[in-house]
Structure 1
Amino acid sequence: MSKEDQIIVNSLPRTDVIGVPITATNMGECLSYIDSNLDAIRGSYVCVSNAHACVMAHDDPAYWEVQAGSVMSVPDGKPLSVIGRRKHPAMGRVTGPDLMREVFRMSPERGWRHFFYGSTQGNLDALRVALARDWPELEVADMEPSVFRPLSNEEKAELAGRIDASGADFCWVALGAPRQEVLCHDMEGMTHSVMVGVGGAFNVLSGAVSDAPRWMKDHGLEWLYRLAQEPGRLWKRYLVTNTKFIAYQLTGAKRRRTRR
């Protein structure tokens, strides 16, 4: 990447959210940035960050580096955008499913192709059907399920090779945090695509998991909707990490240096 390209990559400001550098952006600005700078940010990765990710980054210096090293760590969670708006009034949510929808909408005109990595083969099959139905002109370069274990360095290089061989401009990674962001960080510069960690967005877009109503998203109640859907899996996350997030914010947790 040239020095000129590096300046472009670093152009979006970050704001401190419990010590984690979150990109102070909104959906429109995020999409405009990607559209204008796609060639400059190829090989980089985007984190779609929520309160859970922020708490993990706050507590784990290695994961903090992953979040700080992204080309963008966009505010998926409502609390992040609320905190960020104190210094950046235009900051708004950029959720994984909505970001995918908007990029898909733009893709046919721009010729963008997409690789999907993660989840199970059954879930990917359902996603393929949904994509063909909802975005019939979308170019799906390929899909590959997770192996549900960490990849070796050789396997990461081979995956990057398959992504590039498919001609993908975007690689959507659905492994859940922190695995997806760590993988993208490890593969930075190995692929020609832009990697984006989107968690459970594959299941939302396929219809396997219903998306929260807009009014719940607007009022920061998406967590309650998700908890009602998957209480066994999510209760601990919301009880522990959300409580820690609030505590860190109220007590002014120790801040780490914002790199970007």
Structure 2
Amino acid sequence: MIEVPSRTVSKEEVGRLYKRFRRVVLASSANHLTKYQTGELNQEVRALIHRETQQLYRQLRTVAFASSLSNVKQIQLPVRGGTNAGLYRKDPRKLHQEFRQAVLISSANILRQKAAASLQESVRETVKILNVEIDNLSKQEFLSKLSRGVVFTPNVDHLMKLQHDPAFMAAYQQADYRVCDSQVLMYASKFLGKPIKAKISGSDLFPMFCEHHKDNESTKIFLLGGAEGIAKQAQRRINDRIGRNIIVAAHSPSFGFEKNQQECQFIIDLINRSPANVLVVGVGAPKQEIWISRYRSLLPKINIFLAVGAAIDFEAGNKPRAPKVMSDLGIEWLYRLLTEPKRLWKRYLIDDLPFIALVLKQKLRNWRSSDLGG
């Protein structure tokens, strides 16, 4: 037994609290560290660890003992190695120091892992088209790598918007993966001398991702997008096709929801209350990318964010997809223009036309750089 001024604490309670404190401190440290990029750690993280440890230490003192640990000379803790191993005595201050040391060691291990991941990331092959670095991965390579992060799917329209939209560009710079959504970009990359391996459009990526995780019960998806009822319809169709409830929740936001803070908070609460660890957003660019970038920090359970454009409408059967032959030839844009002329004529016939001239300029710059280097 441990006698303190206000109450008596049993050795079993101390043992439970000791284990819980150690687990909470280490888990809290690890969870906070994963929010940082490798280049932003060092002193800031050490300060964070110190604050977390101090806070939890104070909580333990208050909740466990209802008294200051300074009034306790020694506490008894269970000895590892079996139920009959007995107890050992520990000075509270030493115990606190050991916890801090354990946190720092755990953090160092996490840092090493992140540094190794960062090194692998730094040698990742990309193809630069205009001002965007596109990951040069096959479909299988991408699916095998994707365990967490934000995924955007650049196409010609994205690249043109990125020439003059700083908010869109800021969101793009925070993405962990940018995979090619356009056969036209495939042609452009070949023209620029560094062909992209595969087209992974949002409308292909989403069903491909669901199929890849068909038997992975831990993958749970929240759908956000489409007009009223469309996301729920897509949820039913996908779950029927996959053979399990891989889509655990779905919501179709109102038009202009991104400008309504109350609705955004409502959506965040919906996602956080769900068991989902993957968020699929299909509300169009640049709205979906900016929304993900703005609110991802408020969605701690979400490991993977996919921005997929019209994929939710396609999965619901609300809109028809272009025939595969048109997609393979790079003229899916023509099919979409013919099916939705009022909405898309300006995008394809005016906004995106300068793309060819910009790629020619990039090619010319590359030639000049090559000549100067030679």
User: TM-score per shorter chain, which class?
Assistant: 0.7 to 0.9
Deviations 1:160-209 (A, max 9, x none): 34323212121110110000000011123322221111111111112221
Counterpart in the other structure of 1:28 = 140
Distance in 2 separating the partners of 1:22 and 1:196: 16
Counterpart in the other structure of 2:327 = 217
Residue identity in the other structure for 2:347: R
- Whether the 8 Å CA contact 1:48–1:73 is kept in 2: the answer is yes
Counterpart in the other structure of 1:244 = 354
Distance in 2 separating the partners of 1:6 and 1:141: 34
- Whether the 8 Å CA contact 2:223–2:251 is kept in 1: the answer is yes
Runs of 4+, deviation exceeding 6 Å: none
Asked whether 1:108 is paired with 2:214, we answer yes
Counterpart in the other structure of 2:297 = 189
Distance in 1 separating the partners of 2:214 and 2:227: 27
The TM-score, its normalising length taken from structure 2, stands at 0.61
Share of identical aligned residues, percent? Answer: 25
Q: What SS does the corresponding residue of 2:153 show, helix, strand or coil?
A: strand
User: Residues 61-140 of structure 1 correspond to what in structure 2 (within 5 A)?
Assistant: 61-85=166-190, 86-89=192-195, 91-111=197-217, 112-140=219-247
Residue identity in the other structure for 1:27: K
Asked whether 1:174 is paired with 2:282, we answer yes
- Whether the 8 Å CA contact 1:97–1:198 is kept in 2: the answer is yes
Asked whether 1:54 is paired with 2:159, we answer yes
Residue identity in the other structure for 1:233: R
Residue identity in the other structure for 2:253: S
Counterpart in the other structure of 1:258 = none
Residue identity in the other structure for 2:143: L
Residue identity in the other structure for 2:210: F
Largest Rg, 1 or 2: 2
Distance in 2 separating the partners of 1:96 and 1:105: 14
Distance in 1 separating the partners of 2:241 and 2:340: 26
Higher helix share: 2
Q: What SS does the corresponding residue of 1:58 show, helix, strand or coil?
A: coil
Distance in 2 separating the partners of 1:13 and 1:158: 39
- Whether the 8 Å CA contact 1:48–1:197 is kept in 2: the answer is yes
Distance change (3 Å), C-alpha of 1:166 and 1:180: same
Q: What SS does the corresponding residue of 1:187 show, helix, strand or coil?
A: helix
Q: Pick 1 or 2: higher relative contact order, CA cutoff 8 A, min separation 6.
A: 1
CA deviation after TM superposition for structure 1 residue 76, in Å: 0.5
Distance change (3 Å), C-alpha of 1:6 and 1:138: farther
Distance change (3 Å), C-alpha of 1:27 and 1:190: same
Which consecutive residues of structure 2, in runs of 5 or more, have no partner in the other structure? 1-33, 39-112, 366-374
- Whether the 8 Å CA contact 2:186–2:195 is kept in 1: the answer is no
Distance change (3 Å), C-alpha of 1:254 and 1:228: same
Counterpart in the other structure of 2:270 = 162
Residue identity in the other structure for 1:107: H
- Whether the 8 Å CA contact 1:46–1:74 is kept in 2: the answer is yes
Q: How many equivalent pairs are there?
A: 248
Distance in 1 separating the partners of 2:115 and 2:281: 24
CA deviation after TM superposition for structure 1 residue 105, in Å: 0.8
Which consecutive residues of structure 1, in runs of 5 or more, have no partner in the other structure? 256-260
Counterpart in the other structure of 2:338 = 228
CA deviation after TM superposition for structure 1 residue 69, in Å: 1.5
Distance in 1 separating the partners of 2:263 and 2:167: 21
Q: What SS does the corresponding residue of 1:248 show, helix, strand or coil?
A: helix
CA deviation after TM superposition for structure 1 residue 125, in Å: 3.3
